[in-house]
A = this chain, B = another copy of it.
Amino acid sequence: MNTVTEENYLKALHHLADELGEVNVGVLSKHLNIKMPTVTSMMKKLADKELVHYESYKPLKLTEKGVLKARMVIRKHRLTEMFLEKVMGFSWEEVHEIAEQIEHINSPLFFDKMDELLEYPKADPHGSPIPNRAGELVMEKLRKLSDCLVNETVEICAVTNTTSGFLQHLNLRAITLGTVVTITNVDDYDKTVTVTYNEKTTTISAMVGGQLLVR
């Protein structure tokens, strides 16, 4: 079996590979807040288990087996988030922290029951797709709001930051998944985006706009 620690390394590798394309020891070390020597030795251990391709001084890469394991953790995380919101009544900024712990529970029965009760959801409360039981993950290619041009009308479909501070910032602006916005201005200098939706106008900083995915 896998330890919680191993699962967290796999999840991080999957996430960083998705985000950056290539992952090296330094990046992973920063992301997990763990010193590089520790990461190096964990990579050797995961390589022994055939979950990671590891060669000194080369970028890190999950094996197929590693990808599957990582996705099972992601599946448990996202099902949990959905369950916490839909069944237990938590709000989208509360679910991430709890799911970080529950994702390590070892009980297929438990997560399959969640899946059933939720009627096999395809995405979590932040719009991230939920891998199926086979570990397949359909990743729709979405654009960042910060890459949109003036006069475009788009729908907010996902957020790539699930911290409660970020989500509360969106709550204040009444931005939820499904909100349809029209870009009325993009500031030349700082790239702040001005959007209109539901008869309201709000400005969204480049930093925030970079974490909102739209269709």
Instruction: Report chain B residues within 8 Å CB of A90.
Output: 109, 113
**Do A105 and B102 have beta carbons less than 8 Å apart?**
yes
CA A90 to CA B87, docked complex, whole Å: 15
Q: Is A48 an interface residue (CB 8 A)?
A: no
Is A6 close to B, CB under 8 A?
A: no
**78-98 of chain A: CB within 8 A of chain B:** 84, 87-90, 94, 97-98
B102 touches A98 (CB 8 A): no
Q: Is A110 an interface residue (CB 8 A)?
A: yes
Judge whether B94 and A109 touch: CB under 8 Å: yes
| Chain B residues with CB below 8 A from A107, complex form | 97-98, 101
Asked if A106 is at the interface (CB within 8 A of a chain B CB), the reply is yes
Interface residues on A, range: 10 to 19
Assembled-state Cα–Cα distance A185/B17 (Å): 69
Q: Is A88 a contact partner of B101 (Cβ separation < 8 A)? A: no
> Beyond A88-B113, A89-B113, A113-B89, is A105–B94 a contact (Cβ under 8 Å)?
no
Asked whether A117 is an interface residue with its Cβ less than 8 Å from the other chain, the reply is: yes
- Closest CB of chain B to A129's CB: distance in Å? 23
A109 to B101 Cα, complex, angstroms: 13
Question: A116 CB to closest chain B CB, in angstroms?
Answer: 9
Chain B residue at minimum C-beta to C-beta distance from A105: B101
Contact between A117 and B88 (Cβ–Cβ < 8 Å)? yes
A88: B residues at CB distance < 8 A: 113-114, 117
Q: In chain A between 153 and 203, which residues have their CB closer than 8 angstroms to a CB of chain B?
A: none
Output the residue of A89, A90, A110 with the most chain B CB within 10 A: A110
Contact of A110 among B98, B105, B113 (CB under 8 A): B98
Contacts of A102 in B (CB 8 A): 102, 105
**1/0 per residue A110-153: CB within 8 Å of B?**
10011001000000000000000000000000000000000000
Give the distance in Å from the alpha carbon of A169 to the alpha carbon of B89 in the complex: 36
Report the 5 A-B pairs with minimum CB-CB distance, sorted nearest first.
Answer: A101-B105, A98-B107, A98-B110, A88-B113, A102-B105
> Contact mask A58-81 → B, CB, 8 Å, 1/0?
000000000000000000000000
